[in-house]
Structure 1
Amino acid sequence: MIREVKLQDAKAITEIYNEYVMHTVATFETEPLQEDVMRSRIAEISAHFPYFVYEINTEVVGYCYAHTWKEKDAYKYTLETTVYLSPAHIGKGIGKLLMQKLVGECRRQGYHALIACITAGNEASNSLHRGLGFKQVSHFEKVGLKFGHWLDVIDYELVLN
């Protein structure tokens, strides 16, 4: 079931996200987050933008949201997207369902474009976004350093209207 996020989801979201922080290069954050920090982030983002979770038997197993891409006013119709799944639920179509819901809601709210910033080599995320109609629009080389390795970032764009 997909539903809007609640602040009570902060614990589950923190646990999912910290798996990526500690063990992958999917996020460039390098230190695990505390639940209160995640709760603040959820409150701030969900107050202004779409934010959804995927539940199985009341357990949050994935989430996605849209947020400000750039701060300047001319960018206000373009959002950046984020999606994370519990490692045990990858490859089951949940990410696609979450992102379809997010894209639909962003379109309904009148946004014009969505940007997905993906670490190069993350083929699951690349495939997900291409399957949703996102097109690669950039490739930045060696812009992040994590686990002692320089990492590239690829941007994908989906024009909504």
Structure 2
Amino acid sequence: MGERAIAAGGLAFEEISEEHLAGVLDIYNYYVLNTTISFHTEPQTLEEMRQSVLSGDPRYKSYAILQDGSLAGYVLIARHKNKQAYDTSGEISIYLQPGVGGQGIGGQALKFIEQKAAELRFHVLVATVCADNEPSRRLFTRHGYEQSALFREIGHKFGRWLDIASYQKIIGQASI
């Protein structure tokens, strides 16, 4: 079992391990199959999810969000781009169990991952969301992220062209 942190409101954040993978996969595949939140069009396999959330790089972390001991979602910092000049930037994602939105879990997860990112000496965090995803857009804006890009008709899913919006927040002064 990896690092575990307790937050307010009965939430705990635990570094994702093998024991969380099946639940994390179920959450993600729900969004793949039923929404435009994920731009995957085919369900992911357990191995693909393992590669996505267990990178092996100590700077890129993934955490299970536990509410009263049950998996409520997950949050992660991933590599923004695979070029050295981007090493102080991280891409964040938050996925919640269907039906648990609106309880403040996303906001707590965002604060938690920002703190972790600061400890890991990231300078900028980026979040990219489908422009249809109003709850995520509001979440990031409410927490100080600014929309930095809008890519029109960049994806196609469920017979529709989809836009994505990127949000960014400068969280610290990483020493170079």
TM range (shorter): over 0.9
Matching residue of 1:4: 15
What's the CA shift for 1:45?
Answer: 5.8
Structure 1 position 21 matched with structure 2 position 36: no
Q: 1:92 aligns with which of 93, 103, 108?
A: 103
Q: Is 2:176 aligned against 1:148?
A: no
TM-score, structure 2 length as denominator? 0.87
CA–CA distance in 1 between the matches of 2:58 and 2:99? 29
- Alignment-derived partner of residue 126 in structure 1: 137
Q: Secondary structure at the match of 1:158?
A: strand
The answer to whether the Cα contact below 8 Å between 2:96 and 2:106 also exists between their aligned partners in 1 is: yes
TM-score (norm 1): 0.94
- Could you list the runs of 5+ residues in structure 2 that have no partner in the other structure? 1-11
Per the alignment, residue 49 of structure 2 pairs with 38
1:73-104 Cα distance to aligned partner (Å, 9 max, x none): 10110111111000121111111111110011
* 1:48 Cα offset (Å): 3.6
**What's the C-alpha RMSD, in Å, of the aligned pairs?**
1.3
Q: C-alpha deviations, 1:46-80, integer Å up to 9, x for none?
A: 64412111112432111010111111110110111
- Paired residues for 1:67-86 under 5 Å: 67-86=78-97
Greater share of residues in helix: 1
Q: Quick one: structure 1 residues 45 and 19, their matched pair in 2 at CA, closer, same or farther if it must change by over 3 Å?
A: farther
Letter in 1 for 2:16: V
Partner of 1:33, secondary structure, is coil
Question: Which of structure 1's runs of 4+ aligned residues deviate more than 6 A?
Answer: none
Identity of aligned residues (%): 29
Report matched runs for 1:54-65 at 5 Å: 54-65=65-76
**Unaligned regions of 5+ residues in structure 1, if any?**
none
Q: CA offset at residue 128 of structure 1?
A: 0.6
